[in-house]
Structure 1
Amino acid sequence: MSDIVLATDGSSYSLAAAKFITQGLLTEGAKVHVLHVSPVLPAHVTRFVDKASIDGWYAEEAARVLDPTTQVLRDAGVPFESHALVGFAPQQIVEYAKKINARMIVMGAQGRGMLMDAVIGSVAGRVLSLSACPVLLVKSPA
């Protein structure tokens, strides 16, 4: 129970969270599970596009998001593995953390403010409310 889940959306806030982890957050023998969750494509898209094209899009999207984040960890010599999932991001992040018995979830937070988050919601806020393990939000951009 010493591994950390780093949820990333490819933003500067996610890169800041990755950099924060490299500054001594990881315990010896632990690794970072870098996780990106793509949304499920709507039926009006999937109905007219073949599975291979959809799978290709998911793979490209995951690489676009995961590569910069994992590069931060690689450059710092931090052990990691990366994972790409599809679904509702808060639920997938929390379920993955539970599955690996993570010590914590780390993620960047844009910090739009309570009113905007109340109106449109936030992944970070939902992860906070759903997670049984600690959640560390890194607000400053990279």
Structure 2
Amino acid sequence: MTDKKHDSHPQDSAQGPILVPVDFSPHSEAALLLASDFAAGLGARLVVLHVVHDPQNMPGYYARMASKKTLTRIADIAAEMLDEFMAKVQKRHPERKALHSAEILLVTGIPVTRILQVVEKEKARMIVMGSKGATGLRHLLLGSVAEQVLGLAKLPVTIVKEQAKH
């Protein structure tokens, strides 16, 4: 079998990783936890992905960190935010081995496009992602990312919402 993308077959992804695109929201954390359960149950690798996107499309997305480090490149800020997010989740859930051995990916581009490209490159078996991870305009934009991925992906997609804290 050749290694060309157009030669891939559905069974190629049967042993692939579980891809978890994250935006650092509580919904992303809930998705990551569910994906770690899936990974443990299936004996699958966990790949955590953040797509660094053009801040002009989502103004203020990286502003929390950027205000402290105005000369730092956005990709560096995003990498720091991703590291902090993963460290926080791992610290709260030390028993989840899949979280601690997860592969971390940071790519730049349009979120939907890059998520689907990573699915192909990694030969992922499924996507687990949070939805409605923000408020206002960001809420609508991030929600639409999940909807677009759900509509365009050719593999199982699980959409997760944060558990209510009542």
Segments of 5+ residues of structure 1 without an aligned counterpart are 43-52
- Secondary structure of the residue that 1:25 maps to in structure 2? helix
- Measured after TM superposition, the shift of residue 65 of structure 1 is 3.0
Residue by residue over 1:93-117, the C-alpha shift from the partner in whole angstroms, topping out at 9 and shown as x without a partner, is: 01101111101011011289xxx9x
Number of the residue aligned with 1:94: 116
For the 8 Å contact 1:34–1:70, the answer to whether it is kept is no
**Letter of the aligned partner of 1:77 in structure 2?**
K
**Runs of at least 4 residues of structure 1 off by over 6 A?**
none
> Is the aligned partner of 1:8 residue 2:22?
yes
> Is the aligned partner of 1:57 residue 2:74?
yes
- Taking structure 2 as the reference length, what is the TM-score of the superposition? 0.64
Correspondence 1:1-142 to 2 at 5 A: 1-22=15-36, 24-26=37-39, 27-28=42-43, 30-40=44-54, 56-69=73-86, 71-73=88-90, 75=94, 76-78=96-98, 79-110=101-132, 122-141=144-163
**What is the rounded CA distance, in whole Å, between the counterparts of 1:73 and 1:103 in structure 2?**
23
Aligned residues: 125
Cα-Cα RMSD: 2.8
- Taking structure 1 as the reference length, what is the TM-score of the superposition? 0.74
Segments of 5+ residues of structure 2 without an aligned counterpart are 1-14, 57-70
- Measured after TM superposition, the shift of residue 141 of structure 1 is 4.3
**Letter of the aligned partner of 2:33 in structure 1?**
K
Percent of aligned positions that are identical:
30
Classify 1:73/1:130 alpha carbon distance in 2 versus 1 (closer, same or farther; 3 Å).
Answer: farther
**Letter of the aligned partner of 2:97 in structure 1?**
G
